[in-house]
Structure 1
């Protein structure tokens, strides 16, 4: 029970008790107000018997009711503690590898405006740990005590921040972003790019979900960034030439999954991509994230 609910329960109970106490006294006064106050102890004894006879059954009933409420509350607390003990022993726990994240190799990209930014040389050999397989994904690992089933991850980005980071115009390129649209409560923006050699438009949704299925204990998997969000990142990376020091908007990841006992669980992350270095054909970013836990937050 929430503290606010407990507070109002105490207040309501106190008011109810006061009303129950005052009603018999008020009825007695209404019926016998024409009599003078008695000085005979036997009369006061009769009045006490009257109050006791009226209030005792009510007080007994309220006592029984409070006892039942306390017993049910304690039962819920014990069940919750038991469930937490049971599920924590097999609870999955996801982390994100804070390794390098690479932008597209413009020599293999269908996004030609990037070649005007990078000093592209087709014959140059790129030295990278990934050996040309540039990572457009986040590497996640289940470091918990049990496997996760029905894992799905929802990407969520602030469309207002994204809109501000993509709007741009110069003699070479013009990028416009529509106002946020909300048909059937699904928010998205329309990005339109005009260039001498290319004109295209695409939608970026506020949320997009990727389904990954089962991830075993100590298992690793690759979470690919949705295509439209990756295109926005590539455009933003290109615009870094003109907007030095501007960061790509951070985005949220919502992990929803079940443990082996079919208990639904959820983990939340805030992810940011920090620019580290610009190579000849691509840029290197560092993946930073903050995970929201029940009682604390971890920044890796």
Structure 2
């Protein structure tokens, strides 16, 4: 907790100055990351032209219910804050396309999420989720879903209704089964089930004919079914490393698209998947790894803002703490 009143005053007024500038210039973009904000400043709701709003790394505990004034907002990043429940006010943003609520202690997404009909990307990594709601199946435009580093032990049948979903990561949860209708995600290209509790490759995965990247490292698989492997020959890359699998040299040679224990006999193992693979990129072919959304600030900042951003860390050493 910062106890320096000058620093708090400086941060608060710098944030208000950026909001005023965005309002005056009718800017479509506003970035207020790492401003120690505990709530949304009221003047921000007057920025009716905003398309993108970045509020990461603050101390915000809840969003105002009158978000409807930001009717043009299509991208909202409020990751690394203190939200402990899914903001009900988001249902007032019917045109929202990208939402990042990762790294908040949110335990339940609730039924309200079903109202975001135009949502294309949802990131809820490292929250405290124990499940996903059945209503997630109402997100008929969803293309990308990232929910890694949670406590999810079962997926709802509703997730199988996401007919446009192409990229799904559920890494580091508590899953051991997939819904029976999971194969209906017929557009899925990238599926990450690393660090769960699967003891075999789900048969539903073999029916995903457009799947190209399948990650299933660090599960609990002791053996492999050759029939299942044969049905997955259309997948470019399958990573089964760090499972207690004993694979013969013949199996390794026969299924060259699979990286598994024993494949080190044939070639060095690529390290491209060694990090948690939460990608916000559209570069599906390369399956680029990234732990967070790569939002780039496009604010049209004044010279004063640029100077403040550059020298704020330097100025802070002159502030007196007591």
Normalised to the residue count of structure 2, the TM-score between the two structures is 0.19
Q: Which of structures 1 and 2 has the larger relative contact order (alpha carbons within 8 angstroms, sep 6+)? A: 1
Greater per-residue strand proportion = 1
Greater per-residue helix proportion = 1
Normalised to the residue count of structure 1, the TM-score between the two structures is 0.21
